[in-house]
Structure 1
Amino acid sequence: MFVAFFVILIDLIGFGIMVPIFAFYALNLGASPALATVLMGLYSVAMFFTTPILGRISDYYGRRPVLMLSMLGATVGYVILANASSLWMVAVARLISGAMAGNMAAAQAYMTDVSKEEDRAKAMGLIGAAFGLGFILGPALGSYLAGDDFENANFVLPAYVSGALSFTAFLAVVFALPESLDKKHRDALRAEPKTSRIKEIVEVMRRPLARKVILSGFAYNIAAGFFEAVFPIWASYEGAALVDGPQGLVPFLLAGGITLAVVQGGLVGPLTRRFGEHVLIKAGALGYGAGLIGMAIAADMQQIWLVYILMAFVSGSSAVVMTGTQSLISQRAGHTERGMVMGVFNSMGTLGRCVGTLLTGAVFTYIYIHGSFYVCALLMIVLFFLAGSVQRNWSKGDALTS
């Protein structure tokens, strides 16, 4: 399990490097804030289409081949980005990287394969911790490599470093990661009649409990797309003016990343055993929405220290929502269809991030600088009520398979 954690972590650090600076990469090539977030959204568009495909392929042929292919492909995407001289090249690089990021369904299925059901929340927490550490080390490294001045920022070197890390993850899978899904299960699944990806999505979404859990993840991810994509631009914009260059983003991202890692890596397990996933999801939804409204108010008041604290609070709330929904979707899925179910879950999640990321720049530019934060708060109210509905179905013993 910990070898898989290490592989995922390396890959996510490479991804995290570009998080705080990608929007400025596009802005420097002539994009508007609205177009910059659309280009960011292409990542989620591609990921939406490939996540269920890669998840199902991992059920047929094993987790390891999917992880190798995707990490090698991500390396290619970063190299293209490093050499981009126009916005269309940025778009192509973003689509390739997003398509390869669909491997997260296979990674989650891998962790599920090698963990017992009672340790499922812990396994999902390790993946969450990898995300948290990726968002600690990656953005800090990316911002450092880019420099402290937006006018003279170096965006090429971070892209090359991201590519190098993805290639390192590829080598780690090749030489250190054994296959987790035994040949008997792969052969049995390949012998069954194959269904199209659309039919798989329809089949999973027909199941009442699965549908509600997936819609909960969908609502959260729309909000996350709205917030995460616009945050670097928001923090540097005249209306907030919290930073002067890429390196100024580091304290905010460290506050969020460290909190995310601590909560998912160390607190989610005990909190889940004490309160259950349903209570944590509802509490996390309310905390996420309230924290973002607080950040908007604190920025207007120029209370940067308070924005740091609220960034950590938002990240902690995000951690329990993400891990709770991931744990629920994994618990009542059958062994041979786990990759498919989690693939659909992740696919709908990335669709949500796609919607949020594509729209947030327009809301920021044409409606209100803090508009995205208030949209997120409304979505968290929706998530709160969805989580309550899931809890009622769950207590009745409903399964994800029916």
Structure 2
Amino acid sequence: MQANQAATDGQSPPPLPSSVRFVLLTVFLDILGVGLIIPVLPSLVGAFGLNASDQAHWYGWVIAIYGVMQFFFAPLIGALSDRYGRRPVLLTCVAGLGLNFLAMPFAPGVLWLLVIRAVGGITAGNLSVANAYIADVSPPAQRSQALGKIGAMFGLGFICGPVLGGLLGEVDLHYPFYLAAAVSLGNFIYGCISLPESLTPEHRKPLRLAAANPFTGLTGLAHLRGVGQLVWVYALTMFAQFIIQTSWVLSTTLRFGWTPLQNGFSLFLVGVSSVVMQGLLLGPYIKRVGDAGAVTIGLASSALTLLCYAVAPQGWMMYVLIICNLLAFGTGPALQAYFSRAVDARSQGAAMGSLSSLASLMSVAATLTGTSLLAQVSHFPAGSIWLGAPFFLASAMQVAALLLARHTLRRLNPV
């Protein structure tokens, strides 16, 4: 568990391999595509002649089915990459995602849209392959920094995608889907030309269906060498994160009367904070505090900020709190680095696939929990702190994650 050897010997870590650039571009374009359709997907669901109640119902299912399918198929995608290599699996998923974006505006009915989104959830497993690729080509001491760059691409994609999707959607509801398809398919062509394979033949292993079982994969994560309890830390962190993602807009609208522009600006700040921390500051930060420090400091910052979100009396305070929560974006990459170092080179895809599957499971559970909780308190008047109930719950989840992380990391005593 020598997570920070480069930091302790006084030497600067070597630059990340050039092949990482394509993987980072892949993640950025994938999230850009997802971000492009966020502003217009509810309208696409409503375009099938549904009333407001049915539109909300079907929109919820369209969102949830994506996470459900990702939960079941991300471990299989990761296991396939352990068997056949990262390159063919990653490129297949990129092409499938592009075709999925292209098919969505042509759905003849809402049931067909649901089916198309389900297929899209399968191809979303490419993110676990991207994480495994990064783990293949990055030295253990640099793995937190490298995985953090994937997080930065997430943030950058969410900075650009929703804004551009909203602008295109004003012209034509279908244009964001066409652009999302174009960038994904263009990325597929670029990858066919330039992406090298990262997993050498001697590091590949036979495909076992048991390894592709999402529940088996989660059980396997829980028994990783010395870090199994960190799976619960990761699960609690993801649960809290997805509660906020699914409750943010409705909560701020009810509490502060925010417009879509104000909510869009707040999400822009979240993306900027993610890029700054994970893309620029994470390397020096990990070098200074180590992976264990990044986990505990990030969780403490997140728990406190979420509590402040819940009780903030004025909307402008939310913007300030987003910026103050910068260190929370170091938690995810540091946790992923622990899991990556606990498995051998032949199992990186399966491990990252299981983490992706766990995140998908948490997204479904958190979406149902957070929105239901907000519905229960929606009758309170504007400005009431009870309208911040999802933030109270998310803060409690982060406190639980922090306590468990401190116990586990103290036992591991990483250096």
Q: TM-score range by the shorter chain?
A: 0.7 to 0.9
The one of 200, 212, 224 aligned to 1:197: 212
Which whole-Å deviations, capped at 9, do the CAs of 1:252-292 have from their partners, x for residues lacking one?
12111011001001111111121122222222222223323
Q: Which position in structure 1 is the counterpart of 2:154?
A: 131
Letter of the 1:17 counterpart: L
Which whole-Å deviations, capped at 9, do the CAs of 1:131-178 have from their partners, x for residues lacking one?
11111111221233234xxxxx95422222222222122222212211
Pair 264,252 (structure 1): closer, same or farther in 2 beyond 3 Å: same
Unpaired stretches in structure 1, ≥5 consecutive residues: 148-152, 398-402
Cα deviation for residue 37 of structure 1 reads: 3.8
Work out whether residues 139 and 253 of structure 1, in 8 Å CA contact, stay in contact via their aligned partners in 2: no
Cα deviation for residue 99 of structure 1 reads: 1.4
Letter of the 1:264 counterpart: Q
Pair 173,287 (structure 1): closer, same or farther in 2 beyond 3 Å: same
Cα deviation for residue 27 of structure 1 reads: 6.0
Pair 296,242 (structure 1): closer, same or farther in 2 beyond 3 Å: farther
Q: Which position in structure 2 is the counterpart of 1:103?
A: 126
Pairs aligned (count): 382
Where in structure 2 are the equivalents of 1:288-307 lying within 5 Å?
A: 288-298=302-312, 301=313, 303-307=314-318
Distance 2:42 2:305 in 1: 23
Q: Which position in structure 1 is the counterpart of 2:70?
A: 47
Distance 2:61 2:369 in 1: 8
Where in structure 2 are the equivalents of 1:75-90 lying within 5 Å?
A: 75-84=98-107, 86-90=109-113
Residue 143 (1) aligns with residue 166 (2) = yes
Secondary structure of 1:211 counterpart = coil
Q: Which position in structure 2 is the counterpart of 1:150?
A: none
Cα deviation for residue 84 of structure 1 reads: 4.1
Work out whether residues 291 and 334 of structure 2, in 8 Å CA contact, stay in contact via their aligned partners in 1: yes
The one of 268, 285, 305 aligned to 1:254: 268
Distance 2:21 2:293 in 1: 28
Distance 2:181 2:404 in 1: 39
Letter of the 2:322 counterpart: M
Cα deviation for residue 311 of structure 1 reads: 2.7
Work out whether residues 74 and 97 of structure 1, in 8 Å CA contact, stay in contact via their aligned partners in 2: yes
Stretches (4+) displaced over 4 A: 23-29, 32-35
Cα deviation for residue 248 of structure 1 reads: 4.3
Residue 362 (1) aligns with residue 376 (2) = no
Work out whether residues 148 and 330 of structure 2, in 8 Å CA contact, stay in contact via their aligned partners in 1: no
Secondary structure of 1:209 counterpart = coil
Pair 111,193 (structure 1): closer, same or farther in 2 beyond 3 Å: closer
Q: How well do the aligned residues superpose, as a CA RMSD in angstroms?
A: 2.5
Work out whether residues 232 and 249 of structure 1, in 8 Å CA contact, stay in contact via their aligned partners in 2: yes
Residue 4 (1) aligns with residue 34 (2) = no
The one of 177, 199, 204 aligned to 1:159: 177
Residue 371 (1) aligns with residue 381 (2) = no
Letter of the 2:22 counterpart: V
Q: Which position in structure 2 is the counterpart of 1:120?
A: 143
Secondary structure of 2:138 counterpart = coil
Residue 223 (1) aligns with residue 240 (2) = yes
Work out whether residues 80 and 89 of structure 2, in 8 Å CA contact, stay in contact via their aligned partners in 1: yes
The one of 337, 340, 347 aligned to 1:337: 347
Distance 1:95 1:308 in 2: 34
How high is the TM-score relative to the length of structure 1? 0.87
Q: Which position in structure 2 is the counterpart of 1:400?
A: none
Cα deviation for residue 197 of structure 1 reads: 2.6
Unpaired stretches in structure 2, ≥5 consecutive residues: 1-19, 379-386
Secondary structure of 1:370 counterpart = helix
Work out whether residues 61 and 114 of structure 2, in 8 Å CA contact, stay in contact via their aligned partners in 1: no
Work out whether residues 218 and 358 of structure 2, in 8 Å CA contact, stay in contact via their aligned partners in 1: no
Work out whether residues 255 and 309 of structure 1, in 8 Å CA contact, stay in contact via their aligned partners in 2: no
Cα deviation for residue 20 of structure 1 reads: 4.7
Letter of the 2:281 counterpart: L
Distance 1:396 1:122 in 2: 17
Cα deviation for residue 392 of structure 1 reads: 2.3
Distance 1:282 1:154 in 2: 46
**Identical columns (%):** 25
Pair 53,15 (structure 1): closer, same or farther in 2 beyond 3 Å: same
Residue 352 (1) aligns with residue 356 (2) = no
Cα deviation for residue 95 of structure 1 reads: 1.6
Where in structure 2 are the equivalents of 1:249-288 lying within 5 Å?
A: 249-288=263-302
Pair 271,142 (structure 1): closer, same or farther in 2 beyond 3 Å: same
Which whole-Å deviations, capped at 9, do the CAs of 1:36-90 have from their partners, x for residues lacking one?
4443222211111111111111010011111111112212322233234643233
Distance 1:233 1:154 in 2: 25
Letter of the 1:197 counterpart: A
The one of 182, 188, 195 aligned to 1:170: 188
Residue 324 (1) aligns with residue 334 (2) = yes
Letter of the 1:251 counterpart: F
Q: Which position in structure 2 is the counterpart of 1:17?
A: 36
Distance 1:81 1:8 in 2: 20
Cα deviation for residue 346 of structure 1 reads: 2.0
Distance 1:376 1:38 in 2: 23
